[in-house]
Structure formats: C-alpha cells, structure tokens
Amino acid sequence: MANARPFSAAIFDMDGLLVDSEPLWHEAEVEVLGALGVPIASGDPRRTKGIFVREVTRFWFERFPWDGPTTDEVAVRIVDRVIDLVAEVGRLQPGVDRAISLCEDHGLALAVASSSEHRLISFVLERFGLASRFAFAHSAEDEEYGKPHPAVFLTTAQRLGAAPDRCIVWEDAPAGVLAAKAARMTCVAVPAADERDAPALAIADAVLTSLEEADESLWRRLVAAHASLEASGGREPVGSG
C-alpha cells in the first residue's frame, strides 16, 4: 500500500526561484569579474547558474587567471554587490506565496537550501518577509561540494527529520534539479524561459512556467507519481504544465 502521507517536507531553492536574483548575480559577476579581465558580458548566458559563488570564482580564475585578489576575496565582492542590487531592485517571483502556502496547507516542514552564502540568504528572507515561513535556511557554503552535488539537500532533509524520498524540492536551475534527483527527492522545476530546453529538466517530476501554477492539481499529480514510484520502483516524471 502506498504511504498515506507521501511527503513530509518541502525544500525551496532561493535565487531565481523565490527571488528574481539571477539577473542580479549576472550583473554583479560581469561588473566584478569584468574589472579583473574576465571576458564575460551582460548579454552572455550565465554559465555558472546555481553553483556556489566560491566555485564560480574558481571556475573563472582557472580559465582567465587575474593578478591581485584571491578567488575568495572576489567572491566576497560579488556577494556584496548582489546584496546591494537586491536592496535596490530585487523582487519576489510571481506565485511565491502560493507555492509556500500549498506546502503549508499539506502540513509539510519547510526549509530553504541555497547555493548562496548565509548572509545573502538571511538578507533576502528578511527583506521580503519570508524568514518566518521556513524552519531554517541551509547554505552550500557549509558543504564540501555545492550543487549539482546533492549534499545541500540531504543535509537539509536530515535537519528537518525527513527521509529524502519524502521531500519535495522546488528549483529553477538545472544544477539544482540534478542535485535534487541525485538526493532521491521529488523535484518541481520552475526554469527561466531561456532554460526550458535544458536536458536536466527531463528528470524533474514536474516542470512549471511559474510558481503561480502551484495548486491542488499539481499536488495530486505529485502524490500519484510518488505512489506509482513506490509501487513499481520506476522513475517516471509527472510532466510539464
């Protein structure tokens, strides 16, 4: 018999999922890394989306080494700039309250698991009044490896007291989807328009165009897919829509 309560926790990514900060990350990286001679431009796709910032600076330093500050020092500059930009122009993504409320209504424990540093996570959650909606926020800075490694999600599930296969992860980035599925969690992907053809999305359990699509119909599909998975041992995505 399928478990009557298939999910016990929901884990939310932050950048790009709760807050429209991915363009701000790109702007900060172009500004800070560009000043060090890294040839990235505002019109370029962000090749390091969803990756921990210190891994981002190491990624670029290996390809275009610069003189002067260390990669960790450059990471601090980038995060400082992102915080400034969020304060100036940051906004929540449409449907955030809807998605959080859906999980709350079904009695799930909620947490944030992000590739951002704690100081940025705390700033965003406080600024937009979301801190009280989550039990805690966990950062990849506390893990040896960031996404697409599953560590940040596995640690979050452990802290919530939830088995990985009873967790729903809400993600926007392909790296996050890979991390969630590597952790054996159900994953709802909400990709940016220019990433909807990313191969990693094929393994998500549902793909939405907006968190505004988070409703009881989605919940029923996730529950049905979870029950089917338990019964068959297979891994069939719920599908998009």
Segment 126-137 shows an average pLDDT of: 98
> How large a percentage of the chain has pLDDT more than 90?
81
Residue 239: pLDDT band by 50, 70, 90 thresholds?
Answer: very low
Residue 42: pLDDT band by 50, 70, 90 thresholds?
Answer: confident
- Residue 177: is its pLDDT beyond 60? yes
CA distance 140 to 149: 10
CA distance 42 to 229: 43
* 211: alpha, beta or left? (left if phi > 0; alpha if psi -120 to 50): alpha
CA distance 214 to 103: 9
pLDDT at position 233: 65
Higher pLDDT, 27 or 1: 27
pLDDT (tens digit per residue) in 138-160: 999 999 988 999 999 999 999 99
Torsion sign (Cα): 16, 21, 25, 31 = positive
Does the predicted TM-score (pTM) go above 0.85? yes
Structural domains of the chain ordered from first start: 9-20+92-232 (3.40.50.1000), 22-89 (1.10.150.240)
pLDDT (tens digit per residue) in 72-103: 999 999 999 999 999 999 999 999 999 999 99
Q: Are 180 and 169 in contact (CB under 8 A)?
A: yes
Neighbouring residues of 67: CB distance < 8 A, sequence distance ≥ 6: none
Residue 4: pLDDT band by 50, 70, 90 thresholds?
Answer: low
- Amino acid letter for position 81: R
Neighbouring residues of 39: CB distance < 8 A, sequence distance ≥ 6: 64
What is the side-by-side strand order in the sheet with 137-139?
Answer: 137-139, 109-114, 9-12, 167-171, 186-189, 206-207
List the helix and strand counts (H, then E) for the chain.
8, 6
So which residues are the catalytic ones? 13, 15
Mean pLDDT over each residue of the chain, to the nearest integer: 92
Q: Are 188 and 215 in contact (CB under 8 A)?
A: no
